[in-house]
Amino acid sequence: MSLISFRAMQTRLNEFFFGPDKTPWTLIRVGCAFLVLATLLLMGISGNYERLYGHYGMLPRRVAVDTVYWPGFLFLIKSDPAWIWRIYWVMVAAAFCLAIGLWTRVAAALTFFLYVAMVQRNLVSFNGETGILAFALFTLIFAPWPQRFSVDHLVLKKPLPHRPEIWAARFLQFNVCMMYLFTSLGKFAGQWDLGTGEIWYHITLSDWFRFSNVEWLRNPWVCLIAVHGSLLVEGAFAFLVWTGLRLPLVLLLMVMHASIIVLFDNALTFFNIAAMIVLCGFLETGDLDRIRRFFRGDECGLQPHATTNRGVSFSWTVAESTVCQMSRRGLTAATTRCHLSREPQS
C-alpha cells in the first residue's frame, strides 16, 4: 500500500512540475517588454539615463571601475561616453523583438542580461519593479517557444510546441508567492499593527496619496479593512492560490494593484503594473471564457472546477478514467448476463 501511495505521489509531482502548460505567456512577454521599453523611453527623455549610468553621472566611471562588477561592468568597458547609448539602443531593439515575439528566446536572454547590467551599474536605480522584471525576464528565457501570437509563429512559421511543460511557469509562480509572503511578514514586523488602521490613516495624509482631501477614505472602518484586508490577501495568497480559489484570488490581487495605481502617484505605477503582469502567470488559457460566463450569469462562472488547480487535475482525470472503466466493466458484465439468460435451457 505504501509503495502504491509513493508512486501516486510521484506521479502527481511529475504532473505538477512537468504537466501541460496553459499559461498565457503572450501577456507576460508583451507586458515585460512594454515595461522595459517604457522605462528606457522615460529615462532617455528625462536625461536620467545619462545621469544614472553615464561616465560623468552620479557614479562616475573613475569610481565605478573599482566598485561595479559584472554584468554592470559592461557599461564601463569603454571610456567613450557614447558607449552607454550603444547599449541603450541594443536594449531597446532586444525589448522590441521580445514584445513582437521575434527570436523570442534570444531576445528574452539579451533583454534580461542588459536590464540587470543597467541596474547593477548604479544600484540607486533599483526600484520595486526591478526585482519583479528580473525574474520574469529570466523565466521568459525558458518559457515555451514559439508562442501563438508572435512573429516567430505567425510570420516565420515556427511550429507551436506539441506539449509544452509547465515547469517554467512554476518557477515564476513560486517567486511570486515568495514575494507576497515575505511582503506580509515584513509588514507584520514593521509598523502595520494588528487591530488598528493607523498606518492607512497616515498614508492617506501623505503627499503621494492622490485623494488626501477625501475624508471617507480615513473612516476607521475603511482604515481597518485596508490594513487587515491587504495583509490577509497577500499573506494567504502563497497558500490558497493552489486551491480552487486560484482565479478569484488572482483577480482580487490584480484589482488591488490597479486600485493602488489610481490612489497613489506615479512613483508606484510601474511596480503595480509589474505585479499584475507576473500574476498572469497563474492564469490559464480558458480563464477568459470563465470570466465571460460569470458576467453573463452562468452558474459555473468563477466557481472551482476540475482544471482550476493544475496540481490536482491529473488525479481528477485518473478518477474519471477509473469510473469510466468500472462503468464499462459493469456494462459488459450486465450484457453477458443478459445473453446467458436468453440461451435455451438444456
| Mean pLDDT score of the chain | 83
Residues 244 and 232 sit within 8 Å (Cβ to Cβ): no
Q: What backbone phi and psi angles, to 5 degrees, belong to 59?
A: -120, 90
Residue 47: left (phi > 0), alpha (psi -120 to 50), or beta? Answer: left
d(CA 201, CA 181): 24
For position 339, what pLDDT does the model report?
Answer: 42
Cell 526591478 found at: 130
**If phi over 0 gives left and psi between -120 and 50 gives alpha, with beta otherwise, what is residue 253?**
alpha
Grid coordinates belonging to 144 = 515555451
Residue 90, pLDDT score? 97
**126, 119 Cβ separation under 8 angstroms:** yes
Contact, 149 vs 101, CB < 8 A? yes
Nearest to 67 by CA among 124, 114, 132, 112: 124
pTM of the model as a whole: 0.80
pLDDT for position 334: 39
45-71 pLDDT, tens digit per residue, is 999 999 999 999 889 999 988 888 888
Tally of CA atoms within 13 A in the half-sphere of 143 that contains its CB: 31
Which pLDDT does position 300 carry in this prediction? Answer: 56
Rounded to whole angstroms, how far apart are CA atoms 48 and 189?
34
CA 277 to CA 175: how far, in whole Å?
13
Q: What is the pLDDT of residues 200-257, one digit of tens each?
A: 888 888 888 888 888 888 888 888 888 888 889 999 999 999 998 999 999 999 999 9
Dump pLDDT digits (tens) for 13-23: 888 888 888 89
Q: Are 36 and 93 in contact (CB under 8 A)?
A: no
pLDDT confidence of residue 161: 84
Q: Map out the domains of the chain as residue ranges.
A: 21-165, 190-311, 315-346
Return the pLDDT at 88: 96
- Per-residue model confidence (pLDDT) at position 196: 76
Q: Which three three-digit cell numbers place residue 180? A: 507576497
- Tally of CB atoms within 10 A around 198: 15
Digits of tens for pLDDT over the chain (346 positions)? 577 788 888 888 888 888 888 899 999 999 999 999 999 999 999 999 999 999 998 899 999 888 888 888 999 999 899 999 999 999 999 999 999 999 999 999 999 999 999 999 998 888 888 999 999 999 999 998 888 889 988 998 888 888 888 999 999 999 999 999 998 888 877 766 676 778 888 888 888 888 888 888 888 888 888 888 888 999 999 999 999 899 999 999 999 999 999 998 888 899 999 999 999 999 988 888 888 787 777 655 565 544 444 444 433 333 334 334 434 444 344 343 434 344 444 3
278 neighbors 143 (Cβ within 8 angstroms): no
